[in-house]
């Protein structure tokens, strides 16, 4: 096994994604400028670009190049960003900081933040449609649109946020917490991997394997997020640490303790890696999976 430099891989892929995002987002002086400034403010604030990287890594696992999936990779980042902008609103989680800077509505006001989120979600689907120019069979694009919509809507991310909001300050059973995490976070991470494989030309067996692995990886990611919220410093996280507990939000450490939470996350990743290896889909994915649980921010 040759030594794989994960840091270099992530840095390179992130640079590709950042360049594509800068190109695909309307410029700040395209009318009406305010909303385009608001969109770029949050998208270009950085972040791990985990979803785009999973799209790319999924495509690479079946032998396709990053360029083939780049519009869709960017679309997943736009959907993630829209969800953060709306979640941060005073009517929702009421957060002042995100990725180390003021949240969108603190800079642009609530109305513009709502509209910027709406516009990012809308643009995301346009980018997926434009990915049709890069694949042979346009039916695949329709499948990708449907899969992303499922993962982002009330079968996925929105469902998780709804139950999260409705659970605040309440004692909830572990099943409800798992429901929140698998829907709010894991569904979109799973879809990211899956649509990468789909656009890269993966067959039904590859799609089934990647779906299961994506689900486990997504849950692990969110458990680690919970752990970092307890342990991390605000500066590392770029958002307010301890915020979940303060808000009476259910978390894995609160329900199971830190030790058991770490074990759960680690088990999820092992399961994901075993599944990927079994389907012959390893590539860079096991290393990425281990990074997901090993990360410190």
Under the rule (CB under 8 A), what is the footprint of its own copies? 26, 30-32, 34-36, 39, 82, 86, 89, 91-92, 109-112, 114-115, 117-119, 121-123, 125-126, 128-130, 132, 137-139, 141-143, 145-146, 149-150, 152-154, 158-159, 161-163, 165-166
Nearest distance in Å: CB 28, its own copies:
12
- Length of the chain (residues): 297
Joined together, the tokens standing for residue 239 give 């958002």
Cβ closest to its own copies, residue 108 vs residue 252: 108
Cβ closest to its own copies, residue 142 vs residue 205: 142
Q: Who's near 166: CB < 8 A, 6+ residues apart?
A: none
Cβ closest to its own copies, residue 53 vs residue 157: 157
Q: Under a CB-based contact definition with an 8 Å cutoff, are residues 121 and 79 in contact?
A: yes
Nearest distance in Å: CB 171, its own copies:
18
Q: How far is CA 63 from CA 53, 118, 150, 229, 287, in A?
A: 15, 34, 26, 37, 17
Nearest distance in Å: CB 250, its own copies:
15
Nearest distance in Å: CB 116, its own copies:
9
- DSSP-assigned letter for residue 2: P
Cβ closest to its own copies, residue 150 vs residue 178: 150
Q: Which residues of 197-219 are buried (b: 16+ CB within 10 A; e: fewer)?
A: bbbbbbeeebbebbbbbbbbbbb
Nearest distance in Å: CB 288, its own copies:
27
């Amino acid at each position: 096994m040759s030594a794989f430099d994960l840091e270099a891989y992530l840095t390179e892929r992130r640079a590709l994604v950042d360049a594509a995002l800068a190109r695909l987002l309307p410029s700040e002086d395209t009318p009406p400028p305010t909303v385009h400034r608001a969109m770029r403010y949050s998208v270009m604030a950085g972040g791990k670009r985990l979803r785009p990287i999973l799209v790319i890594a999924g495509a690479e696992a079946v032998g396709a190049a990053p360029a083939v999936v780049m519009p869709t990779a960017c679309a997943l980042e736009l959907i993630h960003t829209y969800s953060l902008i709306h979640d941060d609103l005073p009517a929702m989680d009421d957060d002042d900081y995100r990725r180390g800077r003021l949240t969108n509505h603190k800079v642009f006001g609530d109305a513009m933040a709502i509209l910027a989120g709406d516009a990012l979600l809308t643009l995301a689907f346009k980018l997926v449609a434009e990915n049709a120019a890069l694949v042979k069979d346009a039916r695949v694009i329709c499948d990708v649109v449907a899969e992303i919509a499922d993962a982002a809507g009330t079968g996925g991310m929105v469902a998780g946020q709804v139950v999260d909001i409705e659970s605040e300050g309440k004692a909830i059973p572990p099943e409800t917490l798992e429901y929140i995490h698998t829907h709010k976070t894991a569904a979109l991470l799973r879809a990211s991997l899956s649509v990468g494989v789909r656009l890269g030309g993966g067959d039904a067996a590859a799609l089934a394997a990647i779906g299961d692995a994506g689900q486990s990886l997504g849950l692990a990611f969110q458990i680690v997020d919970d752990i970092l919220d307890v342990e991390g410093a605000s500066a590392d996280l770029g958002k307010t640490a301890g915020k979940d507990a303060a808000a009476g939000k259910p978390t894995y450490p609160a329900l199971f303790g830190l030790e058991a939470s770490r074990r759960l996350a680690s088990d999820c990743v092992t399961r994901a890696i075993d599944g990927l290896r079994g389907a012959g889909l390893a590539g860079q994915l096991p290393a990425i999976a281990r990074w997901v649980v090993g990360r410190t921010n």
